[in-house]
C-alpha cells in the first residue's frame, strides 16, 4: 500500500492505495465518485475521462499513485454554485446525449478541447473528441453542443472558463444543478 | 370555448415540441445509478473463468489454488451448479421441429465457444476475484471447430453438438404462393426475361453498448432483488424465475440507469442466472460487472448471414419475383430470440416493391461462436440490405437508372394500405415525396454532374451516389401475430397513471428505456392528454415492483405500443374524473367538456374544475358519487392491431480513392417518415444514432474469428466503433404520414437509420467504381478490400477468417476455398472470390 494525497472536486483526501490501483478505480471504489465510469479496458472509449491538474486524462490509464499531490476534477465537480458548466448545459440543450454513459467523459474531454481551442471548427471538434466513443448519438449533436458551449465561453468576456487551468474546483455546497423544466 | 379558458389560454400542445430531456439532469452531472455503482453491505464480487478454446471436452477443473487465494470466498464450477442451472431460455421456436441443444449458463463437461463460462470466482473484492481467475486450472480435450456456415451445412461436416444429427437448427420457409399472398415463384423465374443472382454477406457485428453489462443480486430471506443493465427487466424476471425455480413473486428485477442496449441487452444472460444461483447459495449480495473484452467476446453478437438472392424482372424493369435463401449463424446456442431474428426479416425482403412472387428459406446454423441475437434492426437491416443491393444490381443489368427502377416498382401513395407479397399490410406513406425531398437535401443533380466530370477526367478520386428506399415493420407487435409466428410472448404494453393528492402525476410504463428519452416523451403525451404541466409529470419505469406489467423496449415499439398504453390510461383517468367532476359541479356528465386539464360545464361560463383539483378532492374522498371508487387512477394495456411501417429514402454520396481504396462519405441525406413526431429533438437523435451504426456496418465493424475460433476483434482497438472523426454530418428530414394503427399515429424511429443506411453506403461505393469493373465489395469496406476489389477483382475477400493469427492475411486452405463455396450455391459467381 502507498499513501497518496489528492484533491478531488475540491475536497482533500489521504488514502492508502495498492500501487497497481488505477485512478478510475480509486475514484469509483474508494471515493464513491461513481459519476466517472469505466467503458473499456484498452483506453479507447474515454468514458473515464477526468481532469488531472486541469488536463484531460483517461483515468483508466493513470495509476492512483500518479495522482499523488494532484488536483483531480470529475464530472461531479464542474458545475459551480448550482450552475451547470456551459458544456454541460450545451449537451442538454443540443441533445448531445442519449443513454448518457459516455457523457461524463465526453464533457470532460470537450472542456479540455475548448481550453486548447476556444473556437473549433466542426472538423476540429470531431478530431478533438475522437478519443471518446459514443454509441448513441452519431456525434452530430455532440459537435453542435461543443460549438455552442464554445460560443458561450467566448462570448461573455468574463474571464477564463469556470474550469480553466487557473481555477481548481471548490467543494460545491450549493444545491445540485437541475435542468428539469428548462425548455 | 368559455371566457375563462380564453383568458388563461390553453397551453400549446406538447406533442411536436422539441422538449429538452428530463433525463439529462442526472446524466450530465454524474448523478447516475448505473448498476455497477451499487454497493451493498457484505457484497461479494464475481469474476468468470472463461474458456480459451472454441470446442472441447472439459476433462478436469482444478480450483484448489483459486479457492486458497487471498480474499476468495468460494469457487463454483459447472459441475457444482449443474443440477440447479437449468437452460437459458429460447423464446422463439420458429419451426415446430427446431432443434435446441439447450444452453447452460456455465459449461459442465464441454465448451462450445471461446469465452463460455467454466468457473466463477467469488471474492471480497473485484480485484481479488480477478486475480484468482488465472489460478483455475482447466484441462480441455479439443474437438473440431466449426466456423464456416457453408461447410457446416454440408453432409459429413464436423458437428458443434455431437448429440445432434447436424449443424442445422431449423429450416424456415415462407412461400407466398403457398401462403396465398403471391403467385408461384418458380414459375415467375421460369417466365422472366432477366434474372440477377448474388451472394451477399451480412458480417457478424457486436452491439457494443457503451455501458458494460452488470448484475447485482441481493437475497433477502427467500426473496431476491436483481439489478441488471438490461433492456428487459420484465421479461428477465419471468425467464429467470422459470430457469432457477425462484418463484416469480419472490423475484424483483430492477433496470436502473442503463447505458445503451441496441438489442444487445435484450437477453437473459448466463451471468444473470449465475449471480442468482450464487446469491442463493451464499445468502449474500453479489455483483458481476464485465470488462469490455468480456463483453465483446461473450455478450451476444448480431447479423452474420450469408444471403443468396435472386431477382426476376422483365426487360422493361418490372419486377416479377424474389427468391431468398439464407444461412443464418446461430452461434453455439440459441439464446432468447436467436432463431427469430432472421425469420423476422423474412417479411421485409420485398421492401417497398410490388413483387408478384416471393419465396424465402432460411437455415439456422450452429457454429462454435458466441450466439447471435437481436442487434438494432434485428432481421430488417439484413433484409433491406439484400433488396436494396439487388435492386441496384438489377438496374445495372437492365441499363436503367436505379431510382427509375425503384419508382417503377414501388407502392404508390394512393395504393395504401397495401398488402405485400409477404402478407404484411403496409399502413401509410408516400415514397415519392420522401424521395424528392431527399434528392433536394443531397443536391443530387449537382453531384451526378460532378460524378460525370470525375469519371471523364479519370480522377483518382471517384464519386458515387447510393440509394436506399426502405420500409420496416415496427411497433412489435400484435400479440396474435406473434402467436402465429410461435413467439413465446405477446406484444402488448402496459401503463398506469397515478394522480397524486397535490395534483402531480406519476406515469408508470412497462417499456423500459436505456437512452431513448421515455421520461420526456411520455411526459409530453400525458401533458397533452390530461392537460397538466409537463413539469408536474414523473415517469416511472424499469422496476418490476413499481411497474408490474411490461414487455420492455426493443423493435422500435416503445412509443408506438408503450406510448399508446399511456394515452389509453390517460383516457381512463379522464373518464373516471368526469364522474367526480359531474358530481362536484352538480352537472350532467354529458354537459361536461374536458379541455386544457379542466372540466367545464357547457353553457355555464366560469363553472369548472381542474383535473389536478379533482385529484385532491378524491384523495380526501369526502364527497364523491355513489357507486364509484374514490380514485381516478387508471391503467391500460395496449395490444396493437397491426405493425407500423416507417419508411424513408436515404442517399449517400461517396468518394473512393482508387489508388488507396480509402472511402469517404461526401454527403449523407435522408428523409424518414416515422408518423407523428412527439419530440423532434429525440427523433432526430434516434436517426443520427441509427445512421452511425448502419454506416459503421458498411465501413468499419466486423467481428472476426480466426481459424481456431478466437475472436480477434475482442477489444475496441480491433472492433472499430466509429469516433466522431469517422462519421460525416447528416442532413435529415421528415415527411409525416400518421400510423392509423395507434392513437398517437407514431410508427417508430429507433431502428430506421440503422436499417436504411447500410445499403445506401455500399451502393454509393459501388456506384463510384462500377465503371472499373467492380460489382461487389464485402462489408466493411476497408481500404484494403476496396483496393483489392478495384485492382484484383472479386468482392475484396475475407478479412481474416482463416489462419490462427488475425489480419495475417494467411491464405490458408479455408480462405482460398472460394471454388468450393460457390459450388454450394450457383446463385452467384462472387462466392468467396479473393
Give the pLDDT confidence of B756-783 residue by residue, as tens digits: 999 999 999 999 999 999 999 999 999 9
Are A149 and A70 contained in the same domain? no
* Structure confidence by residue, pLDDT tens digits, B546-586: 999 999 999 999 999 999 999 999 999 999 999 999 999 99
Cβ contact, residue pair B716, A45, below 8 Å: yes
User: Per the CB < 8 Å rule, is A44 touching B715?
Assistant: yes
User: Does residue B236 have a pLDDT over 80?
Assistant: yes
First to last CA, chain B: 74
- Candidates B395, B417, B423; CA nearest to B408 is B395
- Number of folded domains in chain A? 2
Contacts 24+ apart (CB under 8 A), B15-18: B15/B524, B15/B525, B15/B528, B15/B676, B15/B678, B15/B744, B16/B677, B16/B678, B16/B679, B16/B680, B17/A183, B17/B524, B17/B679, B18/B679, B18/B680, B18/B681
Listed residues A77, A104, A123: the one ending a domain: A77
Q: Do A112 and A54 fall into the same domain?
A: no
Band (pLDDT 50/70/90 cuts) for residue B39 is: very high
The pLDDT score that the predictor gives to residue B758 is 98
**DSSP string of A101-128, one letter each residue:** SSHHHHHHHHHHHHHH-SS--HHHHHHH
| Pairing status of strand B251-254 against strand B223-228 | parallel
**Strand pairing category for B537-540 and B505-509:** parallel
By Cβ distance, the residue of A38, A88, A122 closest to B28 is A88
| Judgement on whether residues A93 and A68 belong to the same structural domain of the protein | no
Give the structural domain span for A53: 2-77
pLDDT for B828 equals: 35
**Which residues of chain A lie closer than 8 angstroms to B650, CB-CB?**
none
Contact flag B36-A74 (C-beta cutoff 8 Å) = no
Mean pLDDT, residues B172-183 taken together: 98
Residue A107 inside a domain? The answer is yes
Calculate the alpha carbon distances from B371 to A38, B269, B470 in Å: 25, 11, 28
Interface check A137 vs B, CB under 8 A: yes
**Closest to B426 in 3D by CA, of B747, B755, B760, B184:** B747
Q: What is the pLDDT of residue A82?
A: 87
ipTM of predicted assembly, 2 dp: 0.94
pLDDT of residue A175: 60
* B360 contacts B173 by C-beta, under 8 angstroms: yes
Portion 154-173 of A in contact with B at CB < 8 A = none
Cα B191 to Cα A14, B90, B399, distances in angstroms: 83, 42, 20
Whether residue A183 lies inside any domain: the answer is no
Asked whether residue A170 is assigned to any structural domain, the reply reads yes
Q: Is residue A99 located within the same domain as residue A118? A: yes
Check residue B806 and give its pLDDT. 38
Domain annotation covers residue A52: yes
* Element spanning B565, H or E: helix B564-585
- Minimal C-alpha gap between B485 and chain A (Å): 31
Whether residue A144 sits in one domain with residue A124: yes
Q: What is the pLDDT of residues A105-116, one digit of tens each?
A: 999 999 999 999
Confidence of residue B797 (pLDDT cuts 50, 70, 90): confident
B492-638 CATH, one of 3.40.50.10310, 3.30.530.20, 3.40.50.970, 3.30.365.10: 3.30.365.10
Q: Dihedral through CA B819, CA B825, CA B830, CA B832, nearest 10? A: -50
Cβ-based contacts of B22 with chain A (< 8 Å)? 179-180
* Cell matching residue B403: 431510382
Average pLDDT over residues B259-282: 98
DSSP 8-state code for residue B11: P
Q: Final residue of a domain: which of A29, A59, A77?
A: A77
Q: Where in chain B is the domain with CATH 3.30.365.10?
A: 428-487+639-834, 492-638
Q: Which of A99, A130, A176, A181 to mutate to test the interface with B (most CBs of B within 10 A)?
A: A99
Q: How confident is the model at residue B831 (pLDDT cuts 50, 70, 90)?
A: very low
The residue of chain A nearest to residue B516, with distances taken between CA atoms, is A98
Mean pLDDT check: name the lowest of B444-453, B526-535, B656-665, B796-805: B796-805
User: Would you state the CATH architecture of domain B428-487+639-834?
Assistant: 2-Layer Sandwich (3.30)
Whole-number pLDDT of residue B105: 98
Cβ-nearest to A100 among B22, B515, B753: B515
**pLDDT, averaged across chain B:** 94
Say whether B32 and A34 touch across the interface (CB within 8 A).
Answer: yes
Residue of A nearest to B23 (CA): A180
Which residue, among A81, A139, A175, A181, would best test binding to B if mutated, counting the most B CBs under 10 Å from its CB?
A: A139
Instruction: For the beta carbon of residue B357, count every other beta carbon within 10 angstroms.
Output: 26
Q: Residue A152 falls within a domain, yes or no?
A: yes
* pLDDT surpassing 50 at residue B530: yes
Q: Is residue A31 domain-shared with residue A73, that is, in the same domain?
A: yes
Distance set, CA B189 to CA B182, B193, B309 (Å): 13, 9, 12
Peptide bond into B780 cis (omega under 30): yes
C-alpha to C-alpha distance for B17 and B756, rounded to whole angstroms: 26
Cell numbers at B75, concatenated: 469457487
DSSP state of B347: G
Find out whether B422 and B643 touch, Cβ atoms under 8 Å: no
Q: Are residues A72 and A116 in the same domain?
A: no
- Whether residue B563 contacts residue B550, with contact meaning beta carbons closer than 8 Å, is answered with no
Q: Give A158's contacts (C-beta < 8 A, 6+ positions apart).
A: none
Contact criterion met (CB below 8 Å) for B766 and B775? yes
Closest residue by Cα to residue B220 from B283, B281, B277: B283
pLDDT of residue B288: 98
pTM above 0.90? yes
pLDDT at residue number B11: 72
Kindly state whether B725 is in contact with chain A, defined as any CB-CB distance less than 8 angstroms: yes
Residue recorded with cell 449471480 = B275
* pLDDT at position A155: 86
Please say whether the dihedral angle defined by the alpha carbons of residues B815, B817, B822 and B824, taken in this order, is positive or negative: negative
* C-alpha grid cell, residue B41: 453491505
Amino acid B9: pLDDT: 53
Give me B206's grid cell.
457486436
**What are the residues whose beta carbons fall under 8 Å from the beta carbon of B220, sequence distance 6 or more?**
none
User: Which residues from chain A sit within 8 angstroms of residue B729, using beta carbons?
Assistant: 122, 140
- The predicted-structure confidence for B42-82, as pLDDT tens digits, reads as follows 999 999 999 999 999 999 999 999 999 999 999 999 999 99
Which residues of chain B are within 8 Å of residue A95 when distances are taken between CB atoms?
20-21, 681-682, 684-685
Average pLDDT in chain A = 90
| pLDDT at residue A179, as a whole number | 53
Across the interface, of A32, A40, A177, the residue whose CB is closest to B29 is: A177
B184-216, pLDDT tens digit by residue? Answer: 999 999 999 999 999 999 999 999 999 999 999
Average pLDDT over residues B492-521: 98
Min Cα–Cα distance to chain B from A41, Å: 6
**pLDDT value at B807 more than 60:** no
Residue B824 has pLDDT above 50, yes or no: no
- Which residue, B474, B524, B231, is CA-closest to A99? B231
Same domain, A98 and A154: yes
Residues of A in contact with B32 (CB under 8 A): 34-35, 37, 100
Residues A44, A19 share a domain: yes
For chain A, 183 residues long, give each residue's pLDDT as a single digit of tens: 999 999 999 999 999 999 999 999 999 999 999 999 999 999 999 999 999 999 999 999 999 999 999 999 999 999 988 899 999 999 999 999 999 999 999 999 999 999 999 999 999 999 999 999 999 999 999 999 999 999 999 985 444 444 444 455 666 666 655 554 444
Task: Kindly state the cell numbers that stand for B440.
Answer: 433536394
Closest C-alpha among B425, B422, B415, B447 to residue B343: B422
Within 10 Å of residue B545's Cβ, how many Cβ atoms? 10
Half-sphere exposure of B792 (CA within 13 A, CB side): 12
User: What digits encode the pLDDT tens for the residues B279-330?
Assistant: 999 999 999 999 999 999 999 999 999 999 999 999 999 999 999 999 999 9
In this structure, the answer to whether residues A71 and A101 fall within a common structural domain is no
> Which domain CATH number covers A73?
3.10.20.30
Report whether B306 contacts B326 (CB < 8 A). Answer: yes
**Residue B5 predicted with pLDDT over 90:** no
Where among A77, A105, A127 does a domain terminate? A77
Task: Note the Cα B165 to chain centre separation in Å.
Answer: 32
Contact (Cβ atoms closer than 8 angstroms) between residue B693 and residue B754: yes
Average pLDDT over residues B87-105: 98
A75 touches chain B (CB under 8 A): yes
Share of chain B above pLDDT 90, in %: 93
Is residue B526 classed as helix, strand or coil in its secondary structure?
helix
Q: Do B724 and A104 touch (CB under 8 A)?
A: no
Residues A90 and A165 in one domain: yes
Taking contacts as CB-CB distances below 8 angstroms, the residues of chain B near A102 are: 210
Q: Does B716 sit within 8 Å of A42, measured CB to CB?
A: yes
Which chain A residues touch B39 with a CB distance below 8 Å?
A: 32
Are A105 and A168 part of one and the same domain? yes
- Spatial distance between the Cα atoms of B547 and B549, rounded to a whole number of angstroms: 6
Q: Check A100 against B28: CB less than 8 A apart.
A: yes
Instruction: Summarize pLDDT for B440-460 with one digit per residue, the tens.
Output: 999 999 999 999 999 999 999
- Whole-angstrom Cα distance, residue B35 to residue A37? 11
Cell of B235: 421479461
No. of helices (H) and no. of strands (E), chain B: 24, 28
Amino acid at each position: 500500500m502507498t499513501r497518496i494525497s489528492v484533491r478531488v472536486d475540491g475536497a482533500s483526501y489521504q488514502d492508502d492505495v495498492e500501487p497497481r490501483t488505477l485512478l478510475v478505480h480509486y475514484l469509483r471504489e474508494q471515493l464513491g465518485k461513481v459519476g466517472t465510469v469505466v467503458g473499456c479496458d484498452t483506453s479507447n472509449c474515454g468514458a473515464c475521462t477526468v481532469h488531472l491538474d486541469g488536463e484531460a486524462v483517461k483515468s483508466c490509464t493513470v495509476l492512483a499513485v500518479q495522482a499523488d499531490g494532484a488536483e483531480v476534477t470529475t464530472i461531479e465537480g464542474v458545475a459551480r454554485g448550482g450552475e451547470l458548466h456551459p458544456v454541460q448545459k450545451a449537451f442538454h440543450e443540443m441533445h448531445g446525449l442519449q443513454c448518457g454513459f459516455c457523457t461524463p467523459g465526453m464533457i470532460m474531454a470537450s472542456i479540455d478541447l475548448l481550453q486548447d481551442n476556444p473556437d473549433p471548427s466542426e472538423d476540429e471538434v470531431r478530431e478533438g473528441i475522437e478519443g471518446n466513443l459514443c454509441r448513441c448519438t452519431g456525434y452530430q449533436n455532440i459537435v453542435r453542443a461543443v460549438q455552442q458551449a464554445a460560443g458561450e465561453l467566448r462570448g461573455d468576456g468574463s474571464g477564463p472558463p469556470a474550469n480553466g487551468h487557473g481555477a481548481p474546483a471548490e467543494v460545491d455546497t450549493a444545491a445540485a444543478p437541475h435542468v428539469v423544466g428548462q425548455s | 370555448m368559455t371566457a375563462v379558458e380564453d383568458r388563461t389560454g390553453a397551453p400549446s400542445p406538447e406533442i411536436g415540441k422539441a422538449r429538452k430531456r428530463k433525463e439529462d439532469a442526472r446524466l450530465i452531472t454524474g448523478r447516475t445509478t448505473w448498476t455497477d455503482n451499487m454497493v451493498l453491505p457484505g457484497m461479494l464480487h464475481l469474476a468468470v473463468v472463461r474458456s480459451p478454446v472454441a470446442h472441447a471436452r472439459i476433462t478436469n477443473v482444478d480450483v484448489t489454488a483459486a479457492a486458497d487465494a487471498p480474499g476468495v470466498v468460494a469457487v463454483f464450477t459447472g459441475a457444482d451448479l449443474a443440477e440447479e442451472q437449468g437452460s437459458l431460455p429460447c423464446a422463439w421456436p420458429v419451426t415446430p421441429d427446431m432443434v435446441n441443444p439447450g444452453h447452460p449458463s456455465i459449461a459442465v463437461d464441454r465448451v462450445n465457444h471461446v469465452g463460455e463460462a467454466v468457473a466463477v470466482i467469488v471474492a471480497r473484492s473485484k480485484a481479488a476475484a480477478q486475480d484468482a481467475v488465472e489460478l483455475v486450472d482447466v484441462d480441455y480435450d479439443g474437438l473440431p471447430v466449426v466456423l464456416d456456415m457453408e461447410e457446416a451445412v454440408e453432409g459429413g461436416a464436423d458437428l458443434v453438438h455431437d448429440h445432434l444429427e447436424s449443424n442445422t437448427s431449423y429450416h424456415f420457409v415462407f412461400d407466398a404462393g403457398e401462403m396465398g399472398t403471391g403467385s408461384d415463384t418458380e414459375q415467375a423465374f421460369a417466365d422472366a426475361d432477366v434474372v440477377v443472382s448474388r451472394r451477399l454477406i451480412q458480417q457478424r457485428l457486436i452491439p457494443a453498448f457503451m455501458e458494460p453489462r452488470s448484475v447485482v443480486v441481493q437475497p433477502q430471506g427467500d426473496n431476491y432483488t436483481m439489478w441488471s443493465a438490461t433492456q428487459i427487466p420484465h421479461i428477465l424476471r419471468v425467464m429467470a424465475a422459470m430457469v432457477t425455480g425462484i418463484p416469480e413473486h419472490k423475484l424483483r428485477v430492477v433496470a436502473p440507469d442503463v447505458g445503451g442496449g441496441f438489442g444487445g441487452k435484450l437477453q437473459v444472460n448466463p451471468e444473470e442466472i449465475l449471480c442468482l444461483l450464487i446469491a442463493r447459495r451464499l445468502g449474500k449480495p453479489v455483483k458481476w460487472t464485465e470488462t469490455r473484452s468480456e463483453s465483446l467476446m461473450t455478450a451476444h453478437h448480431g447479423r452474420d448471414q450469408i444471403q443468396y438472392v435472386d431477382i426476376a424482372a422483365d426487360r422493361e424493369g418490372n419486377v416479377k419475383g424474389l427468391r431468398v435463401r439464407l444461412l443464418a449463424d446461430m452461434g453455439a446456442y440459441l439464446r432468447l430470440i436467436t432463431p427469430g431474428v432472421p425469420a423476422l426479416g423474412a417479411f421485409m425482403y420485398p421492401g417497398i416493391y410490388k413483387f408478384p412472387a416471393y419465396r424465402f428459406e432460411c437455415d439456422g446454423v450452429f457454429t462454435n461462436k458466441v450466439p447471435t441475437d437481436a442487434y438494432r434492426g434485428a432481421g430488417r437491416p439484413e433484409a433491406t440490405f439484400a433488396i436494396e443491393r439487388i435492386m441496384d444490381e438489377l438496374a445495372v443489368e437492365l441499363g436503367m437508372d436505379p431510382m427509375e427502377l425503384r419508382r417503377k416498382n414501388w407502392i404508390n401513395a394512393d395504393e395504401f394500405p397495401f398488402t405485400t407479397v409477404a402478407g404484411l399490410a403496409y399502413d401509410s406513406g408516400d415514397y415519392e415525396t420522401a424521395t424528392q425531398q431527399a434528392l433536394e437535401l443531397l443536391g443530387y443533380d449537382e453531384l451526378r454532374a460532378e460524378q460525370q466530370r470525375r469519371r471523364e477526367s479519370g480522377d483518382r478520386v471517384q464519386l458515387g451516389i447510393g440509394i436506399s428506399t426502405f420500409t420496416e415493420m415496427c411497433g412489435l407487435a400484435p400479440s396474435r401475430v406473434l402467436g402465429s409466428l410461435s413467439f413465446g410472448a405477446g406484444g402488448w404494453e402496459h401503463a398506469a397513471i397515478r394522480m397524486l393528492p397535490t395534483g402531480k402525476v406519476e406515469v408508470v410504463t412497462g417499456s423500459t428505456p436505456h437512452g431513448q428519452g421515455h421520461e420526456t416523451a411520455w411526459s409530453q403525451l400525458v401533458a397533452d392528454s390530461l392537460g397538466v404541466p409537463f413539469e408536474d409529470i414523473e415517469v416511472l419505469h424499469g422496476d418490476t415492483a413499481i411497474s408490474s406489467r411490461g414487455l420492455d423496449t426493443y423493435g422500435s415499439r416503445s412509443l408506438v405500443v408503450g406510448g399508446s398504453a399511456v394515452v389509453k390510461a390517460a383516457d381512463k383517468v379522464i373518464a373516471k374524473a368526469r364522474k367526480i367532476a359531474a358530481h362536484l359541479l352538480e352537472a350532467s356528465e354529458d354537459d361536461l367538456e374536458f379541455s386544457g386539464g379542466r372540466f367545464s360545464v357547457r353553457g355555464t361560463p366560469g363553472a369548472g374544475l381542474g383535473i389536478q383539483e379533482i385529484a385532491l378532492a378524491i384523495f380526501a374522498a369526502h364527497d364523491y358519487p355513489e357507486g364509484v371508487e374514490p380514485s381516478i387512477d387508471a391503467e391500460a394495456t395496449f395490444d396493437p392491431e397491426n405493425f407500423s411501417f416507417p419508411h424513408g429514402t436515404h442517399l449517400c454520396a461517396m468518394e473512393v480513392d482508387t489508388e488507396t481504396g480509402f472511402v469517404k462519405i461526401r454527403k449523407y441525406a435522408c428523409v424518414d417518415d416515422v408518423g407523428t413526431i412527439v419530440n423532434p429533438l429525440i427523433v432526430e437523435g434516434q436517426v443520427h444514432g441509427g445512421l452511425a451504426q448502419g454506416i459503421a456496418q458498411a465501413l468499419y465493424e466486423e467481428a472476426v474469428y480466426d481459424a481456431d475460433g478466437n475472436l480477434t476483434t475482442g477489444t475496441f482497438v480491433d472492433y472499430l466503433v466509429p469516433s466522431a472523426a469517422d462519421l460525416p454530418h447528416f442532413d435529415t428530414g421528415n415527411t409525416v404520414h400518421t400510423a392509423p394503427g395507434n392513437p398517437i399515429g407514431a410508427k417508430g424511429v429507433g431502428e430506421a437509420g440503422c436499417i436504411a443506411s447500410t445499403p445506401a453506403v455500399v451502393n454509393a461505393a459501388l456506384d463510384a467504381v462500377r465503371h472499373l469493373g467492380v460489382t461487389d465489395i464485402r462489408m466493411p469496406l476497408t481500404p484494403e478490400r476496396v483496393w483489392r476489389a478495384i485492382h484484383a477483382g472479386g468482392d475484396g475477400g475475407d478479412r481474416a477468417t482463416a489462419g490462427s493469427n488475425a489480419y495475417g492475411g494467411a491464405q490458408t486452405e479455408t480462405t482460398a476455398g472460394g471454388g468450393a463455396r460457390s459450388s454450394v450455391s450457383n446463385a452467384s459467381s462472387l462466392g468467396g472470390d479473393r
